[in-house]
């Protein structure tokens, strides 16, 4: 159900309908029953090989289409989630805006940022403070980084 009056392309409309259809538990049970019936009764029919090949081709084509349908649905869900998180990050003045573009940075940079946030969490817990965003945890992190840099400089 759409909340806005924005027009949706027919492709998006078809994709939404198909996604809802295949996600329905009743449709999944019907598919399971059809497969079981197909396997159980297959060799008993005359012309089994021809029917078997047609069914295999149909299933291969349907699987190919479902791959794209599911990928489209996943991409839309991921984008929606990213937008919601961006809204939350942008609205919190204490949050780090560097993560707003996390999907555009390298994996190496993400790992480095993850280590940074884990360290902030550890420092906040050691200080008996609550969440990551505590100012003292940031200050302690900066102090630890400066201390590590000074130790590296000393021969």
Q: What is the pLDDT of residues 110-131, one digit of tens each?
A: 888 888 888 877 877 777 755 5
Q: pLDDT tens across 84-115, in order? A: 888 888 887 777 777 777 778 888 888 888 88
Q: How far apart are CA 78 and CA 35, in angstroms?
A: 32
> Is residue 152 scored above 80 in pLDDT?
no
pLDDT over 60 at 2, yes or no: no
How confident is the prediction for the chain on average, in pLDDT? 78
Give the torsion sign (CA, 15, 19, 20, 21). Answer: positive
| pLDDT higher at 131 or 55 | 55
Alpha-helical (H) ranges within 95-134 are 107-126
d(CA 42, CA 48): 6
Residue 133 pLDDT class (50, 70, 90 cuts): very low
């Amino acid at each position: 159900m759409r909340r806005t009056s924005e027009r949706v392309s027919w492709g998006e409309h078809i994709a939404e309908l198909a996604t809802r259809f295949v996600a329905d538990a009743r449709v999944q049970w019907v598919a399971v029953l059809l497969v079981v019936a197909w396997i159980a009764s297959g060799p008993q029919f005359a012309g089994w090989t021809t029917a078997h090949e047609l069914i295999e081709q149909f299933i291969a084509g349907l699987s190919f289409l479902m791959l794209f349908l599911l990928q489209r649905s996943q991409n839309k869900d991921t984008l929606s989630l990213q937008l919601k998180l961006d809204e939350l990050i942008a609205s919190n003045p204490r949050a780090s805006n560097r993560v707003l573009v996390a999907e555009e940075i390298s994996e190496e940079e993400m790992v480095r940022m993850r280590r940074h946030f884990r360290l902030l969490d550890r420092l906040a817990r050691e200080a008996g403070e609550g969440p990551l965003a505590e100012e003292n945890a940031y200050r302690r992190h900066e102090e630890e980084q400066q201390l590590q840099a000074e130790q590296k400089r000393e021969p």
